[in-house]
Amino acid sequence: CVLYVKSDVVKTVSLNNVDVADAVWQEHLLKWQQSVIDTRKTQVYRKELPVMKSDSAMGADSEMRWQDAQWVGVPLRLSKDAVFGVLSVYSRDAKDMKVDDSIEVLKGISSQVATIVKRKLEWEDRNLILQLVEQTPLMIVLTDADGTIKYVNSAVVEGTGYAREELLGGNPRLLNSSTHPESFFTEMWDTLKVGGVWSSEICNRKKNGELYWERAVLSSVKDKDGHITHFMAHKEDNTE
């Protein structure tokens, strides 16, 4: 069997002592596999293949023969229109292959392969997003709907002097400098709880007691049903 992906990397398994990736006809095979990707349809590929045969019991010498080899390939899908590769099965003698049975087996395997690839891509995307958030110079704070801190990036740790462990599970009130009246924060929460975006300059207090000003933009995070699950703050030090 062969797994072919768009990066033109072909992994092969030799069957019955026949190297199916032989350079004699690999170019034709690659073109066919690309055709499966382009058309997004299951296809059968048949071609005469040189095969060495011998009668070891009779002590006969090996000889080159031409045999009608056959491939069946099914597209590997991330979605209906997004095909990233081909999963194929090979028979060195076309008459030995049951095409319909091969297609059913390949479809089952390809579904499992696609699921694994999807999860890997999703994981890579999540890691990339996390790296972007973690490395941005903006201070990022994520709380749940009750205001409990669930995430802070490195900029928050550096800017406030608090260790990440001291902030997680706590409340942003930890940074309150008592500079603003209660109505200031009431307006903020009233805006956020209806899904609005709130922005202002806030004076907060670092762990060492030093006051600092920051430009903050706060917004809500909603689930697929539109319910608010978290709040996020993007903040930039604005101290002069």
Q: Give dist(CA 183, CA 189) in Å, integer.
A: 10
Q: What is the pLDDT of residue 123?
A: 82
Q: Give dist(CA 132, CA 121) in Å, integer.
A: 17
Q: What is the pLDDT of residue 95?
A: 61
Q: Give dist(CA 219, CA 142) in Å, integer.
A: 10
- What is the mean predicted confidence (pLDDT) over 32-60? 66
Taking only the tens place, the pLDDT of each residue in 6-29 is: 544 334 433 344 444 455 556 667
Q: What is the pLDDT of residue 58?
A: 47
What are the respective helix, strand and coil percentages of the chain, to the nearest 5? 35, 35, 30
Q: What is the pLDDT of residue 120?
A: 82
Q: What is the pLDDT of residue 71?
A: 74
| More confident site: 183 or 2 | 183
| More confident site: 153 or 116 | 153
Count the Cβ atoms, other than its own, within 10 Å of residue 116. 9
- What is the mean predicted confidence (pLDDT) over 189-212? 95
| More confident site: 52 or 45 | 45
What is the rounded average pLDDT for all residues in the chain? 79
Taking only the tens place, the pLDDT of each residue in 129-185 is: 888 889 999 999 999 999 999 999 999 999 999 999 999 999 999 999 999 999 999
